[in-house]
Structure 1
Amino acid sequence: MSDHQDAPVTPVEAYEPPYYVAVFTSVRTENETGYAETSARMEELVKDVPGFLGMDHAKTPGGLSITVGYFRDADALTRWRSDAEHHAAQQRGRAEWYESYTLHVAKVERSHAFTRGEASPAPSAG
């Protein structure tokens, strides 16, 4: 996904479980053609998926990128996976932008958060 150099650095909040995460870990090729525009479009598009909760991004100095998408339920994740424009971006990613990637999908059973200055962690199940 896109770089967020100007955005405040805060993680997606802890939601009441259960919910789902899609963890996309990738190493990119040197080809940058169209990547930033497509990434920005995917971020815009996923926000319209009912049940989309948010997204976190991280990138190591060595080039490993991690994007975690949070979804209220399996149906929301399926809607995103099935989106025609997202599917086209996936195909282009395999053809041009990714040296390798993994996708892990998991059901979150426990979740909590901490923010300095708050009295206690946000409640969670489990």
Structure 2
Amino acid sequence: MSDQPLAPVPPFEPPYYTVVFTSVRTVPDDEEGGDDGYDATSTRMDEIVASVPGFLGMESARTPGGLGITVGYFRDEDAIKEWRGDAEHRAAQKRGRGEWYEKYSVHVAKVERSYGFERG
């Protein structure tokens, strides 16, 4: 994960798309030996997706119980297709199914409204 200040991704001018990846790890992050290359791969995936034309941003969170949610924001479906088809991303997906995830789901949605609030 990034060392960016704590803040939500700002609203963008619709329409755009979100990809919501919700997962449960096979070994929780806080257990001994629970990494097995996961953190390095996650960091690399962050780098790759950030280079995809049309990538707008990403937010991630994990509950103490181990439910993880990552939301990626993309300008259009072509950007999502490029990310989905990236060779390193596909290899990470395969490893995720084989080692890191007990279960996951992916939801893709078109955003038609977007707004935010910031105090100050």
Counterpart check, 1:63 vs 2:66: yes
How big is the shift at 1:29? Answer: 1.0
Number of matched pairs: 114
Matched with 1:99 is 102
TM-score (norm 2): 0.92
**Which consecutive segments of 4 or more residues in structure 1 shift more than 6 A?**
none
How big is the shift at 1:51? Answer: 0.2
RMSD after superposition: 1.0
Structure 1, unaligned stretches of length 5 or more? 118-126
Structure 2, unaligned stretches of length 5 or more? 28-33
Counterpart check, 1:24 vs 2:21: yes
| Aligned match for 2:83, one of 76, 80, 84 | 80
SS class of match (1:36): helix
How big is the shift at 1:89? Answer: 0.3
How big is the shift at 1:7? Answer: 3.1
Q: Deviations over 1:62-90 (max 9, x none)?
A: 11000000000000011000111100000
TM-score (norm 1): 0.87
Percent identity, please. Answer: 66
Higher relative contact order, structure no. (Cα contacts within 8 Å, ≥ 6 residues apart): 2
